[in-house]
Amino acid sequence: MNILKMAVISFLLCNVLPALSQSMSAQEIIEEAAEAMGGLDRIMNVDSLVMTGFSQTLGLGGSASPHPKSPKKWTSQNDITRSFNLNSMQALQTHRQGFLYPFALAFGHAWNPSSQIQQGVSVLNHPLTALRAALASDTELGAISIEDDNIVIEFTLGGGETLWLGINQFNKLPAWSRWIGPSPTLGELTYTSWFTGYSPFGEVRLPSGINTEIDWRESVVTEFHVDGYELDAVLPAFEIEAGMSFDGGDILDVEVTQVAEQVWDLRLVTENPTVETNGAGIVEFEDHLLMFEAYGSEANTIALIEAANNLVPGKQVTEVVVSHHHFDHSGGLRTAVSLGLTIISKRENEALFREMVSRPAPNFPDALALNPQPLKFIPVDEHLVLEDANQRVDVYEVVGHMHMTDAVFAYVPDEQVLMQGDMFVIEWDWHWWGDNYIDSIEHFDLNPVIDIPVHGVVSSFDEVINNIDSQVTAAREFCTRNESIGIYMAGCQVKYTRD
């Protein structure tokens, strides 16, 4: 075949398919997809669907390094039952979850059952629910476009949320559904759930795989492997067994403790008890305050900054040290930047932090979307001195902590106060890298007496060391226990040299 013929054929292929879709209305294209799945009537008359299987999910930013190619930390969900009530458009998912990487809290490796009720957009990551939502009487169908092999239909739910459904032009089956959601660290995210490996289940064709990806670093955040479906099954009661949570609900108060001369600890007091308590260290300089960590969320960070700004008349927080890139620890980064604060962190975090603050969030405007500011960033390599006539704070790189390889901690030499995130947490059950704390202070020849953590409570240096020791012992026992029943866990054997 000559080149001209090939060019003519590819021209026809590229142009015939869009022409087909243009001759059909959005409603007709969706109805055709319903036919391909088993018939419009059948699709509209399914009352319930129970999907079972297993999945892996990605906690965003959980890799040891902020580098886009850094190995990712996955969480596994087994024994999943996802029960859809297609009339109320709700789903109940129950599963047993475990982390596939060494985690410091026992619940992460317990495989305890937990459940959640999903509703609204969060149930539309399945072709049956997405099609039903697109066909609902209060849904408005919008623009038709083409993306690769798929015809894309925009649709807006009665509640106002806009989604997109991609329909494969060749087999007419739904290829994916897409929606937008908020993200504390990335402003907002566009999610696309891909439906693959369709197979007949009774009279309806359903996918065996559902992969959800986001528009950030081409990350796949959920890989769902279906191992069975039941149509029109009797549904369980939609009651939840909540797992352990890091979300404490509303902030009630910020507890202020003066730890040393010109050094304070701030702790968030929240509605519900959580796995760990969170806070920040504050250090007074001649004309400003330095904060250690903008933790968790916009609400957390604003509460901490407001409390700090009331400590010393005329002095405001202008700088914040971000210990490492993990998305809980950088959860207030966008907020801090929106307030004009300078960010101090390991040099390797700068590229990721620029990604975070440069993302627009027009659908879910946060503080930064409402008040866009440039990132002011001071990089730390091994050591950075922050000093004026009144105060000195040293910012150092964390040594030998495989939980977070591009991390910093801060030290107030005059007061022997160390401020850190995730080097040690008193509430942890297990420490997998217990050497890092002492390695870090020995490396830089420091002599701390007080520890201000991001998670936990202010502790003496002796308490820190004793607790690390018992957490390492507990981690080793956990490894031994698992090995005795034939399971070998990630993180075992525990690396620790200071027995």
Binding residues (CB under 5 A) for Zn ion: these are 326, 422
CB-based burial of residue 228 (10 Å sphere; 0-12 exposed, 13-18 middle, 19+ buried)? exposed
Q: What angle do helix axes 435-443 and 461-484 make, rounded to 10 degrees?
A: 140
- Strands of 215-278 (E only): list them: 220-231, 251-260, 263-270
To Zn ion, the closest distance from the beta carbon of 24 in angstroms equals 50
Quick one: 422 or 439, whose CB is closer to Zn ion? 422
Say how far apart CA 203 and CA 226 lie, in whole Å. Answer: 17
To Zn ion, the closest distance from the beta carbon of 193 in angstroms equals 28
What are the percentages of helix, strand and coil residues in the chain, rounded to 5?
25, 35, 40
Distance linking the first and last C-alpha atoms of the chain: 74
Quick one: 61 or 448, whose CB is closer to Zn ion? 61
To Zn ion, the closest distance from the beta carbon of 324 in angstroms equals 6
To Zn ion, the closest distance from the beta carbon of 318 in angstroms equals 25
Q: Which residues pair with 231 in a beta bridge?
A: 49
Question: In 38-126, where does DSSP find H-type helix?
Answer: 40-45
Q: By beta-carbon distance, which residue lies closest to Zn ion? A: 326
To Zn ion, the closest distance from the beta carbon of 493 in angstroms equals 22
To Zn ion, the closest distance from the beta carbon of 433 in angstroms equals 11
Quick one: 169 or 471, whose CB is closer to Zn ion? 471
To Zn ion, the closest distance from the beta carbon of 404 in angstroms equals 5
Quick one: 30 or 343, whose CB is closer to Zn ion? 343
Quick one: 178 or 326, whose CB is closer to Zn ion? 326
CB 395 within 8 A of CB 408: yes
To Zn ion, the closest distance from the beta carbon of 403 in angstroms equals 6
Strands 140-147 and 113-119: unpaired
Quick one: 267 or 326, whose CB is closer to Zn ion? 326
Quick one: 103 or 264, whose CB is closer to Zn ion? 103
CA dihedral 461→466→471→477, nearest 10 degrees, is 160
Question: In 76-147, where does DSSP find H-type helix?
Answer: 127-135
CA 494 to chain centre: 26
User: What are the angstrom distances between the C-alpha of 343 and each of 137, 337, 359, 369?
Assistant: 49, 8, 17, 18
